[in-house]
Chains A and B, each alone.
Chain A
Amino acid sequence: MSLSASSEAAATPGAPGVLDAIEGAIGQTVAIIGHEARKLSHDPSELLLRAVQPALWLVVFGSVFTSIHAIPTGSYSYLQFLTPGILAQSVLFIAIFYGIASIRERELGIITKFLVSPTPRAVLVGGRALSASMRGLSQAVIVVVLATALGVRLNTDPLAIVGIVVAIVLGSALFSTLSMIIASLVKTQERFLGIGQLLTMPLFFASNAIYPLSLMPSWLRPITLANPLTYLVDALRGLMLPGYSGVFPVGVDLAVLFAVTVVLVLAESRLYPRMAQ
């Protein structure tokens, strides 16, 4: 062991500048994502348990509604129409409880160590939001495998696959940041779980996940259009179903998801430090 007491603090970056700040922020984001990836790799049980729910929706709900032809979905089978909706739902469900980690880390004290490090708050929050997409992407693999096994025909165009990944990353980041905001506001597990449960179902049913917008009563439509999940479903449908034209162009859907995510990350950057006060 040789510790050089005189060695200069090599951690101190050189000339302070915009480039340096950007480089630092990227490195710190990688650090947070890498840390979350390691946690998942040591205990992937949650990811496997999460496969149960989309499986039930596709196999039971999807099969029944496909055979009774209750919901008109044009030239697509109902199961085909449903698959992107269930994928979006899985992304929502796994992200909306992500804030529980913030609460656990607050109760322990882990959060203070991160906040005392020289990491910009927006990087701490944004890094966590991007980490959440690893969970969302694991859901995508499960849903796509299941749907393919059920005979659903999906796009295999490489560009579409890239688009699907982008949509899932944005959707996961959006809903996990929303979840972290709730955690920062309520601070206790009990209240957090209550609000999480309360939010999930309205977000899911007031969207186009399991039926087309055209079927909705007119009073529900504006609510649906204010629901970010609608844009995730619309993007995924446009990307996954061959020749599908959604409510909006995919680019518009992705832009809406991106803009909402940025606003939420900035808001949570202000709230997050209160978790350590």
Chain B
Amino acid sequence: MGSTSPAPVLETHELTRKFGELTAVDRLTLSVRPAEVFGLLGPNGAGKTTTLKMLTTLLPPSSGTATVAGYDIVRQPARVRRSIGYVPQLISADAQVSGYENLWVFARLYRIPADERDRRIREALDFMGLSVVADELVKNYSGGMIRRLEIAQTLMHRPRVLFMDEPTVGLDPLARDAVWEQLGRLTTHFGTSVVLTTHYMEEAERLCERLAILHRGRMVALGTPAELKASLGRPGATLEEVFAHYAGAEIETTGSYRETGRTRRVAVRLE
């Protein structure tokens, strides 16, 4: 990784997904570098989650191509899955078992060798600051602890790319800061790239090296937070203004009842 421009760890070319008449993601072309934190920014319904679902092999694209860790998402899904981690927006840890047991099942599914399994599980829990509560049932965890556990679940197999959908939705500021800090250490420690979606400007600004702003399925802006702010051509522009400029004044108008319900449910469950 010493070279000046390392090969991208993720590349999409004209990636498109249609649902009937609706084009949820429209000819998306972008690339992500190793150890980069890349943000997909956009109002509800902009295509952020659909993009993540395609890149994580959950949803086949309608057209276009993408490679993750060098593997084609359509032709080599099994290899892609071995190289990635995914923390969905909804809760993906199991409340009925302990933190350790939540990791155990994935250590086995990712085929971590038996003699390494326990060490990797403890390491991941330790890394996310959860060693003390490893044997507690997850239903007794706080929202921030659940999120960190969900990230820990994806670390044991050393993913090249970690995908996160709204990683801090529903968290209080303190828990959010903890998640942000661990994410930063992740990229420096493992060289893992992080692709996350968010609609919190503060999160985008603080975490992401580069941002893509999506609007109605299309990428309308791409750059570092500083570049995006400069692109408005007036000094002192904030990221909120950038967002309003590119995504229109639709920040709160497109969320459907269903989406709102989901977001609130997550927020309530994370309490």
Contact = CB atoms under 8 A, between A and B. Distances in A.
Q: Which of A1, A38, A107 neighbours the largest number of chain B CB atoms within 10 Å of its CB?
A: A38
A109 B88 contact: yes
Nearest to B56: A116
B238 interface: no
Interface string B82-113: 10111011111110110001001110111111
B190 A42 contact: no
* Interface size class, chain A: 35 or more
B116 interface: yes
Q: Which of A43, A113, A120 neighbours the largest number of chain B CB atoms within 10 Å of its CB?
A: A113
A119 interface: yes
Q: Which of B57, B59, B104, B105 neighbours the largest number of chain A CB atoms within 10 Å of its CB?
A: B105
A118 B56 CA distance: 11
A31 B269 CA distance: 26
Interface stretch (B150-158, B222-230, B241-249): B150-158
B105 A34 contact: yes
- Per DSSP, chain A at the interface is helix
B232 interface: no
Contacts of A120: 78
A114 B109 CA distance: 8
Interface string A7-26: 10111110000000000100
B191 interface: yes
Contacts of A7: 158
* Interface size class, chain B: 35 or more
B105 A1 contact: no
Interface string A24-44: 100110111011001100110
Interface string B218-260: 0000000000000000000000000000000000000000000
B206 interface: no
Contacts of A31: 104-105, 108-109
A42 B137 contact: yes
B127 A3 contact: yes
A10 B109 CA distance: 13
Contacts of B105: 31-32, 34-35
B126 interface: yes
A38 B109 contact: no
Contacts of B191: 5
A13 B58 CA distance: 22
A35 B138 CA distance: 14
A9 B158 contact: yes
B81 interface: yes
B189 interface: yes
Contact of B106 (A5, A107, A117): A117
Contacts, number: 111
B33 interface: no
A49 interface: no
B97 A112 contact: no
Given A118-B78, A277-B58, A108 B91 contact: yes
A110 B92 contact: yes
Interface string A131-160: 000000000000000000000000000000
Given A9-B158, A12-B82, A276-B53, A108 B97 contact: no
A76 to B, nearest CB: 42
A24 B53 contact: no
B94 A110 contact: yes
A27 B78 CA distance: 16
Contacts of B205: none
Interface string B104-130: 111011111100100000010011000
A116 B110 contact: no
A109 B90 contact: yes
B230 to A, nearest CB: 34
A32 B109 CA distance: 8
Contact of B123 (A1, A13, A43, A277): A1
Contacts of A108: 90-92, 269
A14 B85 CA distance: 21
Interface of A: 1, 3, 5, 7, 9-13, 24, 27-28, 30-32, 34-35, 38-39, 42-43, 107-110, 112-120, 273, 276-277
